[in-house]
């Protein structure tokens, strides 16, 4: 038996980067006390800067009132000490997308937190089952795949590993609902639903551009106007980060074969350090 939502009041978030800071923010906004852990104080400080900016933007557009934003901010505590997660009722891991690092984190968490605490992972492409294998309690490990940017996106993908128990799955859905997110469920197969379909779509957009099918602007316009998506493949790839798209595509290609092979131009952009919006240049240029 794992803890149900009624007994969750403190949430531990491992990793204070793009996703961890967002998850900490939405959990705190929903009223949970949050302990956010990263390996260095500088990363925690960056995480808090991201949270402050995001809360300010929400207040500016009247999506959140100022006192609720302040209260949310006060509910989040940062730490570099994993042991500070010991009293948490639910853990969400959002460290770098690397199996060895995630397995180390889960092995440590397994001995640190009570045996009925659900351990969620925000992995985009890695096997939940393999992450869970680093623990002695794989039944409590579940995929809790938030979308970027977490405070803006409405959906969370719940991923069920080979040994994930129904209690952990139920808690994942219920917790996401408490954060005002809708969920869908995927079996633990490479890329789950979202990245399995998104990654080849992005790569095909990049190949279409490289092969001269249309200008980059027209590829994006065509997909926006033609299929009613908010962003076309080249602008979305820039937004996600070209290094992130490359890494995810490589992981999926290892498992699913050639149809997931990254586009040549994607690799060339990453080799050049053109990573998209975050580096100021990708398929487009940014200020
Ligand atoms: N960025 C996205 O668009 C996106 C979307 C969905 C899911 N994800 C997944 O979320 C996870 C995190 O991605 P991100 O974009 O936030 O990465 P990020 O690089 O912004 O942040 C990762 C953080 O983890 C920290 N970290 C590394 N080892 C740690 C440890 N042992 N303990 C605590 N912190 C540690 C790093 O210092 C860094 O601050 C990955 O699994 C990624 O695949 C990312």
Residue 128 structural domain: 5-187
For helices 66-74 and 18-29, what crossing angle results, to 10°? 120
CA-proximal residue: ligand 1, atom 15 (nearest): 18
Ligand 1 atom closest to Cα of residue 22: 16
Residue 287 located in a structural domain: no
Give the tens place of pLDDT for each residue, 162-173: 999 999 999 999
97 carries a ligand binding annotation: yes
- CATH number where 252 lies: 1.10.1040.10
Catalytic (active-site) positions: 124, 145, 157, 195
Q: Which two tokens stand for residue 100?
A: 């060895």
Domain presence at residue 283: no
Same domain, residue pair 206 and 182: no
**Rounded CA separation 253/110 (Å):** 30
Q: What is the pLDDT of residues 27-62, one digit of tens each?
A: 999 999 999 999 999 999 999 999 999 999 999 999
60: exposed, middle or buried (C-beta count within 10 Å: 0-12, 13-18, 19+)? exposed
Q: What was the pLDDT predicted at 104? A: 98
Q: Is there a domain that residue 128 lies in? A: yes
Are residue 219 and residue 119 in the same domain, yes or no?
A: no
**Cα 126 to Cα 124: distance, rounded to the nearest angstrom:** 6
**Same domain? 177 vs 215:** no
The ipTM estimated for the assembled molecules is: 0.98
- Looking at the fold, whether 127 and 202 belong to one and the same domain comes out as no
Q: Is the CB of 20 under 6 A from ligand 1?
A: yes
Note whether residue 267 is domain-resident.
yes
Q: Residue 273 carries which DSSP code?
A: T
Task: State the virtual CA torsion across 94, 248, 185, 133 in degrees, nearest 10.
Answer: -60
Q: Is the CB of 120 under 6 A from ligand 1?
A: no
């Amino acid at each position: 038996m794992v803890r149900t939502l009624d007994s969750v009041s403190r949430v531990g978030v491992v990793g204070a980067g793009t996703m961890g800071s967002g998850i900490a923010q939405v959990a705190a906004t929903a009223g949970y006390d949050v302990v956010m852990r990263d390996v260095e104080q500088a990363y925690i400080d960056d995480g808090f800067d991201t949270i402050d900016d995001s809360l300010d933007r929400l207040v500016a557009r009247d999506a959140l009132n100022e006192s609720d934003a302040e209260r949310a901010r006060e509910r989040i505590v940062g730490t570099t000490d994993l042991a500070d997660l010991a009293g948490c009722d639910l853990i969400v891991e959002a460290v770098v997308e690397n199996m060895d690092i995630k397995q180390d984190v889960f092995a440590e968490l397994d001995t640190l937190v009570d045996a009925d605490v659900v351990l969620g992972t925000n992995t985009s492409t890695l096997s939940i089952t393999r992450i869970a294998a680093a623990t002695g309690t794989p039944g409590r490990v579940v995929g809790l795949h938030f979308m970027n940017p977490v405070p803006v996106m409405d959906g969370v993908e719940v991923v069920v590993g080979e040994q994930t128990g129904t209690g952990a799955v139920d808690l994942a859905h219920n917790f996401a609902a408490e954060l005002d997110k809708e969920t869908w469920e995927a079996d633990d197969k490479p890329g789950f639903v979202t990245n399995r379909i998104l990654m080849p779509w992005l790569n095909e957009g990049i190949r279409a551009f490289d092969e001269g099918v249309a200008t980059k602007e027209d590829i994006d316009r065509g997909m926006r106007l033609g299929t009613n998506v908010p962003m076309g493949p080249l602008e979305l790839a820039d937004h996600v980060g070209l290094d992130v798209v490359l890494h995810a595509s490589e992981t999926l290609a290892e498992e699913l074969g050639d149809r997931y092979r990254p586009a040549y131009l994607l690799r060339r952009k990453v080799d050049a350090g053109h990573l998209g919006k975050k580096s100021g240049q990708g398929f487009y240029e940014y200020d």
